Amino acid sequence: MNASDGPPRPARANRRVRTIVLRRADHFGDTLGLAFLETPESAGDAILARVRNYLGGKVKILKAEISRDKIEVEVESRGWPEEAARLAAAARDLSDKGARRNAEAMFREAIAMDPLNPDAMAGLGLAMAARGHDLDALATLKQAREFGAPHVEVLIAMAQCASRLGRPAAALSYFDQALKQDPKNFTARRAMKSLGKTPQPSPAPESGAHRNKRK
């Protein structure tokens, strides 16, 4: 299946504006990470050039706030989000059924239709990770999180990729972030123990009497 199998795209692409956050901790050792080593006052244009290159030519930067640990960027893109969402959902179904190579192609087509689509980006990263392409998967999952993909699933997948790539510190950081959002997540808790770190005890369920006292 591809985009041409569905209804024709509207002639006019939709404009989307959103703010994304690029974190220094996610980009140690890569090209974008170099942006955090430069000072905005003396190298603002160079930093924005790195950000543009990272986001791709279909994304326009409207404004950016640069700090030592993160870059918040307001961006604009044009595309067909509804059509891309349908294609990403079909690709996810294919991936769940094990046809991950075909799913990857569909996810990429969805991203071409809507460059900041978080579901398509997350689906592509998860499919690549399932096929053992951990380095590319990790980079794609980082973008998925930056674009707004559901964090727990993506964080755990990022941690698993980092662990298989021999980056235990990064893996522990991502598992820890996942547990902050879902303290009882069994996958993250078990994985942290296997990496030599005992996670914080999961919160005990509240009793009915205690809940009633709080009301």
54-98 per-position pLDDT tens digit:
999 899 999 999 888 999 999 999 989 999 999 999 999 999 898
Structure-token match 């997948």, residue found: 157
Rounded to whole angstroms, the maximal C-alpha distance in the chain is 60
Structure-token match 């978080």, residue found: 118
At residue 1, does pLDDT exceed 70?
Answer: no
> Distances in Å between the alpha carbon of 113 and those of 82, 93, 175?
10, 19, 32
CA 20/CA 34 separation, integer angstroms: 18
**Could you tell me what percentage of the chain is helix, strand and coil, using 3-state DSSP and rounding each to the nearest 5?**
60, 15, 25
Which residues, in sequence order, are bridge partners of residue 12?
none
CA 46/CA 27 separation, integer angstroms: 16
At residue 111, does pLDDT exceed 90?
Answer: yes
**Predicted TM-score of the model (pTM):** 0.83
What mean pLDDT value characterizes the chain?
87
Q: What letter represents residue 153's amino acid?
A: E
Do residues 103 and 131 make contact, with C-beta atoms less than 8 angstroms apart?
no
What is the number of H-type helices and E-type strands within the chain?
Answer: 9, 3
User: What's the pLDDT at 215?
Assistant: 47
CA 63/CA 61 separation, integer angstroms: 6
User: What's the pLDDT at 39?
Assistant: 84
Query: β-strands 59-66, 70-79: how paired?
Result: antiparallel
Structure-token match 């980009």, residue found: 27
> Distances in Å between the alpha carbon of 153 and those of 11, 56, 93, 122?
35, 25, 16, 9
Q: Which two tokens stand for residue 25?
A: 């901790």
